[in-house]
């Protein structure tokens, strides 16, 4: 099996940095190319054809980067465009949905557990998480599109009155999930607030952690703590750099380059 040394991480914007963080902290790579389509984010309120078009353009960009494997960190792109990307790619393209479901199995979550999937509107509408969960024998599933969570995180509002009001807006009082699948790149940053709302015993599935485990199980990866990250954004590279500084552990990675791509 080929040794994976250089990977690409694709997201609709800055949210995929939560996945990048897990890949750096839990595995470590020689070289990582991160591309966020910040000019066209959010993908979560777009329709399938648009999400496929943007994701295939991202794939075209990554083709020039000489990577060994591409991680689609964006749940919305994973839900709608993964098959189209895989069909056109010469290298493995891995989405976050299969690995998220795999994490449930690994955590030995009982099949009758009350599972809540929270994601963007487009991810929920795709029905992808539900289908995969049902295929694995889980049958007690509630899916809620919580698009406003993306804006909260982008505004750095992680707790407090605004967050509690938004939670009340989306979550009926009787909702008592045992497991929450964080089906969006941004949602891990709301985990403390979600835990306060639903209780300490709630089990969370985080796309970044799940995909790190999945890659280690399925691919021949030689961990390397160089973590030279080359960042690309289709708009506002300054915001991407500032967010990386805020969300990623200082010293865990080195910025190799920050570039703007032109659509």
d(CA 232, CA 49): 23
43 carries a ligand binding annotation: yes
Nearer to ligand DGL, 79 or 215 (CB): 79
Instruction: Indicate whether 153 belongs to the interface with ligand DGL (CB under 6 A).
Output: no
> Considering the complex, what minimum distance in angstroms separates the CB of residue 154 from ligand DGL?
9
**Tokens coding 92:** 């493995």
Per CB under 6 A, contacts with ligand DGL among 104-133 are 120, 123
CB atoms within 10 A of CB 251: 7
Place of tokens 């941004």: 186
CB atoms within 10 A of CB 53: 14
Of 7, 9, 11, 71, the one binding ligand DGL (CB under 6 A) is 11
Mapped onto helix, strand or coil, the DSSP state of residue 208 is helix
* Catalytic-labelled residue, pool 184, 194, 205, 210: 184
Of 22, 38, 55, 75, the one binding ligand DGL (CB under 6 A) is 75
Of 15, 28, 177, 208, the one binding ligand DGL (CB under 6 A) is 15
Catalytic status, residue 65: no
Name which of 14, 66, 27, 58 is nearest 225 in CA terms: 27
Nearer to ligand DGL, 24 or 117 (CB): 117
Instruction: Indicate whether 150 belongs to the interface with ligand DGL (CB under 6 A).
Output: yes
Instruction: Indicate whether 99 belongs to the interface with ligand DGL (CB under 6 A).
Output: no
Nearer to ligand DGL, 152 or 221 (CB): 152
Show Cβ contacts of residue 1 under 8 Å, excluding neighbours closer than 6 positions. Answer: 219, 220
Of 4, 7, 21, 42, the one binding ligand DGL (CB under 6 A) is 42
**Tokens coding 137:** 């024998």
Nearer to ligand DGL, 157 or 228 (CB): 157
Place of tokens 């399938």: 48
**Bridge partners, residue 203, by sequence:** 179
> Considering the complex, what minimum distance in angstroms separates the CB of residue 92 from ligand DGL?
20
d(CA 222, CA 215): 11
Mapped onto helix, strand or coil, the DSSP state of residue 104 is helix
**Tokens coding 181:** 């699948």
Binding residues for ligand DGL (CB under 6 A): 11-13, 15, 41-44, 74-76, 120, 123, 150, 184-186
Which residues contribute to the annotated binding site for substrate? 11-12, 43-44, 75-76, 185-186
């Amino acid at each position: 099996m080929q040794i994976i040394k250089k990977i690409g991480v694709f997201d609709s914007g800055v949210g995929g940095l939560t996945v990048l963080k897990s890949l750096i902290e839990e595995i470590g790579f020689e070289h990582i190319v991160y591309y966020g389509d910040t000019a066209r984010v959010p993908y979560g309120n777009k329709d399938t054809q648009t999400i496929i078009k943007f994701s295939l353009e991202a794939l075209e960009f990554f083709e020039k980067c000489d990577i060994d494997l591409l991680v689609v960190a964006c749940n919305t792109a994973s839900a709608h465009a993964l098959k189209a990307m895989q069909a056109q790619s010469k290298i493995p393209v891995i989405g976050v949905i299969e690995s998220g479901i795999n994490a449930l199995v690994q955590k030995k979550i009982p099949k009758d557990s009350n599972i809540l999937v929270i994601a963007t509107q487009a991810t929920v509408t795709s029905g992808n998480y539900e289908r995969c969960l049902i295929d694995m024998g889980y049958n007690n599933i509630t899916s809620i599109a919580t698009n406003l969570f993306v804006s909260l995180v982008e505004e750095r509002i992680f707790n407090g009155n605004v967050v509690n009001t938004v939670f009340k807006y989306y979550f009926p009082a009787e909702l008592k999930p045992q497991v929450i699948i964080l089906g969006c790149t941004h949602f891990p940053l709301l985990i403390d607030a979600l835990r306060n709302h639903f209780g300490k015993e709630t089990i969370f599935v985080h796309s970044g952690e799940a995909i790190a485990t999945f890659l280690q199980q399925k691919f021949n990866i030689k961990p390397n703590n160089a973590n030279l990250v080359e960042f690309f954004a289709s708009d506002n590279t300054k915001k991407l750099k500032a967010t990386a500084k805020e969300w990623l552990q200082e010293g865990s990675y080195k910025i190799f380059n920050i570039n703007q791509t032109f659509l």
